[in-house]
Structure 1
Amino acid sequence: MSHPVTSPRHSTAAPDTPDQPPSWAPAAPTIALLTALGVLMVGQMYTVLALLHPMATALGTTPEQVTWTATAFGFAYAVGFLLAGPLSDRYGSRAVITAGLVVATAATLAVSAAPDLPTAIALRSVQGLTAATFAPSALSYAVHHLAPQRRGTALTCITSGMFAAAVLLQIGAQAVAAGLGWRAVFWIGASLMALSLIPVRRVLRPTAHRATGGGLRQAFAAMPRLLRRPRLVALYLSTVALMSAFVAVYTAVAIAGPSGIAGNSSAILALRASALPALVAVPVLAPVLQRLAAPLRAVLAFALAALAVAVGSFLGGHTVALAFALLLFVAAVAAAAPAVVEIINSHAPHARGAAVALYGCSMFIGASLGPQLTGALTGLGFGGILRIVAAALVLGVLLALPTLRHHRAD
């Protein structure tokens, strides 16, 4: 049997717009690969949240200062997203994913050799910039290459994988660091990136390019036009609020410590793992959730996230109840993200790569602010931090409401 990329049927049939009548890419292997890679690549942001104490000891600093390695990665990732989206539009998702994996492998390996905190921060910036090539390309690939009835499930699985990374890679990093040291976390990450090049080349199809006169410059020019649309700007700001809340909560678990489990590494590991059922359930329930319009799903998910964090702020001494509140919180975040992506895609059908790039930039600006928000509020204690986070999520609800009103008007 010939390979899908090289067979005559598929050599030029890869769709460049979702409205062409193509032979679509096989959904199951594509979704599985992009979801797994989302865990690996986006998870590099979150590994250090489980390594704050061992890295601080090795680098001669404090855990609060080591949070800058997460912030540096996140800001660089946000910038990389802005570059990767238009590059994906111009050169094709598979090409950008492949090139990104090669350079991200080298950058991740370099982080493992950092001798001090300034070097670690600089190398994490490079790692973030290179890892950013994956997510916008993956989301764009799903929209362009999968059949319309599969896209909602694909977006939900891919974005859920990216959120699962925050939990899975923290758990993995904590376990690896306990046995092999924190530097081994980056050795293993680099090895997995290198190995993933094989399935990327086998499963993903090259994208047929549009013959556009403006080329790459035209792709980048779409961004300022998108930022002149108030509803899109509100969605991007709501994403900043969502992701800053998401990362702030898990940073608070690491450095502020709920009173009932502070200093207990096993209990903290269990608290991190408590969200995993939500990250499995949301993709499974995707067909049910998609019966609701994307704007309504987004608003309801933001509201549930705010409520769960507000309730959790009073449960620091009750581990099981707090774990349940975090489970609801993560489920809400995982449901909100694909809904926001769907809304953005519907608002920018001719510049999806640029629109998703701005979305990813918003995500990681928020993710970068999360650790610093927690660090600045440490004096308030775990409960105080979560109450501020809940207020930020209420702001996210308010920012998402205009899309709901617009949908009803349609």
Structure 2
Amino acid sequence: MSRSALSPRRHAKARQPDTFSGWAPTAPTITLLTALGILVVGQMYTVLALLHPMARSLHTTPGQVTWTATAFGFAYAAGFLIAGPLTDRYGPRAVMSAGLVAATATTAAAGTAPDLTWAVVLRVIQGLTAAAFAPAAFSSIAHHIAPPRRPVALTCVTSGMLGAAVLMQIAAQAVAAGTGWRAVFLLSAALMALSLPLVRRTLRPTPRPDTGGGLLHAFAAMPRLLRKGRLVALYAATVTLMAAFVALYTAVAVAGPPGIAGNPTAILALRASALPALVAVPLLAPLLSRLAAPKRLVLSLGAAAVAVAAASVLGGHTILLAVALLLFVAAVAAAAPAVVETVNATAPHARGAAVALYACSMFIGASLGPQLAGALTGQGFSTILRVAAAGLLLGAALTWPALRHQPTK
């Protein structure tokens, strides 16, 4: 066979390094994990768009219904401490598949709650089962996506998880307006069930590691990581980031500025105004990755604080408030993958456990956000945002020492 006959095959291989070298196909994997990130992580945020209809149905107040978000978030955070080591031991595909089966059942059950007590209990169980997704997704990227494409994959998936706060609130608001709030949970459960064959077909199996201590060895890594001061500071900064993020969106619903509060159309438009940022940041990932992750993290937290502080004085100007929200969400979307990269670099020998702790801190912050907004509702929309801005500045201060311990690019 001639050289010319062989050259097209060589060229095809050169164009598709993921497939010939054993890496998972990048586009299908990223698409699936990003979509599932929106759906599964979005279960945290759906109730923020359902506070008023749920309150009427469950005979309580919107402020009390925020406990269903907090209950899910704390359970979700706790679930990471289990799901992370399980993923290291049994592989991301197996853990994600089992988690989706369980989350399908618990999500459907959450839609049947007869009162607030049952709603909180069922949301706790839902959060525990949904927690299998994030550690498995990050682990799948680390093991099966070609190294040059991992930063883009990580940015897309984390942006999808953050975008869930916007997209799932919009979707929940639209579904609830037509068929009631319970249908939001039933539809989510159906979509989870439909995703199972795609997970089995798209994700690659991961060989079980030969760790002499077995599963207990995987769990033992977590206490050791919590003795590293720089890691603890990064986790604390993550709490402040997500608390501010969720508090802002909760504040729009429970203490919205004049002209927006009580106006479903205005609230929907304000939520949607941040969507371009969640599309733009993944597209800019190659450019952003030229900055070392710690520097990107500090700058993003600082920019987020400035945007929220600006939003606190723009409540009476809907368009300007939407612009400030857009910039805030862009900064958060840039910060989230930078945290993961910095955590991975700080704990290179226990990345599964380190990222599980990151995800845990992420949703501790997300769980505190609704309560922060609820506690300050009487002080007004602007006060909630000023407190959130102060928290973001604290997060930037906590991550500053990481600049001295990471190589620059």
Indicate the residue corresponding to 2:222 in structure 1: 223
- Asked whether the equivalents of residues 47 and 69 of structure 2 are also in contact (C-alpha less than 8 Å), the reply is yes
**Structure 1 stretch displaced more, 348-357 or 167-176:** 348-357
The AA in structure 1 aligned to 2:308 is: V
Q: Residue by residue, what CA displacement relative to the aligned partner does 1:321-366 show, whole Å, maximum 9, x if unpaired?
A: 0000000000100100000000111122221110110000000000
The AA in structure 2 aligned to 1:197 is: L
**Structure 1 stretch displaced more, 363-372 or 343-352:** 343-352
The AA in structure 1 aligned to 2:108 is: L
1:360 equivalenced with 2:359 (yes/no): yes
Query: C-alpha separation between the residues in 2 aligned to 1:67 and 1:210?
Result: 41
| Unaligned segments of structure 1, at least 5 residues | 1-20
Indicate the residue corresponding to 1:5 in structure 2: none
Indicate the residue corresponding to 1:13 in structure 2: none
Identity of aligned residues (%): 73
Query: C-alpha separation between the residues in 1 aligned to 2:103 and 2:94?
Result: 14
Query: C-alpha separation between the residues in 1 aligned to 2:93 and 2:168?
Result: 24
Indicate the residue corresponding to 2:238 in structure 1: 239
The AA in structure 1 aligned to 2:109 is: A
1:49-88 to structure 2, matched below 5 A, reads 49-88=48-87
Indicate the residue corresponding to 2:16 in structure 1: none
- CA drift of 1:407 comes to 2.3
1:98 equivalenced with 2:87 (yes/no): no
1:181-196 to structure 2, matched below 5 A, reads 181-196=180-195
- Asked whether the equivalents of residues 68 and 121 of structure 1 are also in contact (C-alpha less than 8 Å), the reply is yes
Query: C-alpha separation between the residues in 2 aligned to 1:254 and 1:409?
Result: 41
**Structure 1 stretch displaced more, 188-197 or 211-220:** 211-220
- CA drift of 1:72 comes to 0.1
Query: C-alpha separation between the residues in 1 aligned to 2:67 and 2:407?
Result: 43
Indicate the residue corresponding to 2:160 in structure 1: 161
- Asked whether the equivalents of residues 260 and 316 of structure 1 are also in contact (C-alpha less than 8 Å), the reply is no
Indicate the residue corresponding to 2:110 in structure 1: 111
Query: C-alpha separation between the residues in 1 aligned to 2:83 and 2:332?
Result: 24
- Asked whether the equivalents of residues 97 and 199 of structure 2 are also in contact (C-alpha less than 8 Å), the reply is yes
Query: C-alpha separation between the residues in 1 aligned to 2:214 and 2:286?
Result: 37
- CA drift of 1:255 comes to 0.4
Give TM-score scaled by structure 1 length. Answer: 0.94
- CA drift of 1:198 comes to 1.1
Indicate the residue corresponding to 2:43 in structure 1: 44
The AA in structure 1 aligned to 2:227 is: R
1:377 equivalenced with 2:348 (yes/no): no
1:201 equivalenced with 2:200 (yes/no): yes
Q: Matched residue pairs, number? A: 390
**Structure 1 stretch displaced more, 62-71 or 396-405:** 396-405
Indicate the residue corresponding to 2:332 in structure 1: 333
Q: Residue by residue, what CA displacement relative to the aligned partner does 1:255-308 show, whole Å, maximum 9, x if unpaired?
A: 001123111110000000000000000001000000111011000000000000
SS in structure 2 opposite 1:407? coil
Query: C-alpha separation between the residues in 2 aligned to 1:380 and 1:404?
Result: 36
- CA drift of 1:408 comes to 5.7
- CA drift of 1:77 comes to 0.2
Distance 1:409 1:179, change over 3 A: closer
Query: C-alpha separation between the residues in 2 aligned to 1:195 and 1:246?
Result: 30
- CA drift of 1:409 comes to 8.9
The AA in structure 2 aligned to 1:164 is: G
- CA drift of 1:202 comes to 0.6
Query: C-alpha separation between the residues in 1 aligned to 2:309 and 2:245?
Result: 13
- Asked whether the equivalents of residues 291 and 408 of structure 2 are also in contact (C-alpha less than 8 Å), the reply is no
Indicate the residue corresponding to 2:270 in structure 1: 271
Q: Residue by residue, what CA displacement relative to the aligned partner does 1:93-149 show, whole Å, maximum 9, x if unpaired?
A: 000000000000000000111000000000000000000100111001101111110
1:346 equivalenced with 2:318 (yes/no): no
Query: C-alpha separation between the residues in 2 aligned to 1:169 and 1:194?
Result: 17
